[in-house]
Amino acid sequence: MKFNDNIFNSELATQRRAEAVIANPPDTFDTLLKEYIALTGQYAKLLKQAIKLTSVGDGAQRKLMRIRNDLQERNIRIQAQKAKLEQLNQKLENASVTDPLTGLHNRRYFLSFIEGEFKTILTTPAPEIDFGPSLLFLLIDIDHFKVINDTWGHASGDKVLVQFCDLIRNASRKIDTLVRWGGEEFLMVCREADRGYGATLAERLRQGVADHRFDIGTDEPITCTCSIGFAYFPFIASFPTHMGWSQVLDLADQALYAAKNSGRNAWVGVNTVEPDHTRQNPPPSFHGLRELVASDWVALSSSLGDLNDVRL
């Protein structure tokens, strides 16, 4: 037996033989009948094969369809599981960047968020406002919080913290980011803050806290005050890379310290003075707020009417 490249070789041979008989019919009826019987036999065999092949082929297709359907179902299940996992991940992620007591963001969140903000500001072209895009860093610290804890207990201290956060929240805009920075210290990072916003916000917060009656479950609600320091990034709009965000945050912290130092229930802001836009060179590097204030690049603002009362 010889094999070419066709699985129907023997069937083709049968057909060729039948055609040869037609082209050149045998002389006798008996010979013709023999050929006819052989051809019918081949035909019957071929038909039987065709029937089996059709049935087997349908079976194979059914199997493939079933496998496909199984895969589709599995895929749907996997997609559902994936969505669930993503949801769970999101929850975990939220939990890992949230302070459980106050619901504010924690430091971890701030650190992941600030780099992006930083880049956005440095790459966004200055719009038509005075000093271009900026961030306000505003630090708030509850005055004498330790006394509250020591007098009324930590549970009461927690109540104060929660109500304090509500005050901050109510004073903030949607685009501001609120962070519990430390035990009783909070950071607000405000986008799109013009250079007057810090003073307005700080005064609103100072006043709001001082006026608030904190309900800690005692007969009489208690009062407390806060101190605030703020500074803007970019520190000098015409030289936006002169100070990084961490240096500006450090200035805000020093301003907060000055507010504490000056009697508390007060705010101190660090503003740059840019009398004209003609300065060609950035300022020298400054070490500390005191040195900065001594230069002609900075003007403080404060809730203390007389800036001479601000003790750096």
Partner 1 sequence: MQKLELAKTVDTPQVSFDPTNGQFHVEGESYPENALDFYGPVFESLNQYIEMTNGPITAHFKLSYFNSSSSKCLLDIFDILEAFHSVGGKVTVNWYYQVEDEDIKESGEDFADDLSLNFSLVSFE
Chain residues binding partner 1 by CB under 8 A are: 1, 3-9, 45, 48-49, 52-53, 55-57, 59-60, 62-64, 66
**Residue 54 vs 81, nearer CB to partner 1:** 54
Least Å distance, CB 38 to partner 1, is: 16
Spatial contact of 133 and 195, defined as CB atoms under 8 Å apart: no
Tell me how far apart the alpha carbons of residues 42 and 14 are, in angstroms, rounded to a whole number: 7
Spatial contact of 97 and 215, defined as CB atoms under 8 Å apart: no
**Residue 59 vs 182, nearer CB to partner 1:** 59
Q: Which helix (H) or strand (E) holds 202?
A: helix 197-211
128 is catalytic: no
Give the residue carrying structure tokens 């920075």: 181
Least Å distance, CB 16 to partner 1, is: 18
Q: Which residue among 73, 184, 192, 220 is the active-site one?
A: 184
Alpha-carbon dihedral sign for residues 178, 181, 184, 187 = negative
Smallest Cα–Cα separation from 209: which of 146, 251, 167?
167
Least Å distance, CB 244 to partner 1, is: 59
Torsion of CA 179, 138, 253, 112, to 10 degrees: 40
Least Å distance, CB 44 to partner 1, is: 11
Smallest Cα–Cα separation from 136: which of 259, 229, 227, 230?
230
Tell me how far apart the alpha carbons of residues 143 and 262 are, in angstroms, rounded to a whole number: 12
**Residue 51 vs 175, nearer CB to partner 1:** 51
**Residue 34 vs 63, nearer CB to partner 1:** 63
Tell me how far apart the alpha carbons of residues 80 and 276 are, in angstroms, rounded to a whole number: 60
Least Å distance, CB 119 to partner 1, is: 50
**Residue 1 vs 95, nearer CB to partner 1:** 1
Helix axes 154-171, 197-211, angle to 10 degrees: 140
Q: Which residues are catalytic?
A: 184
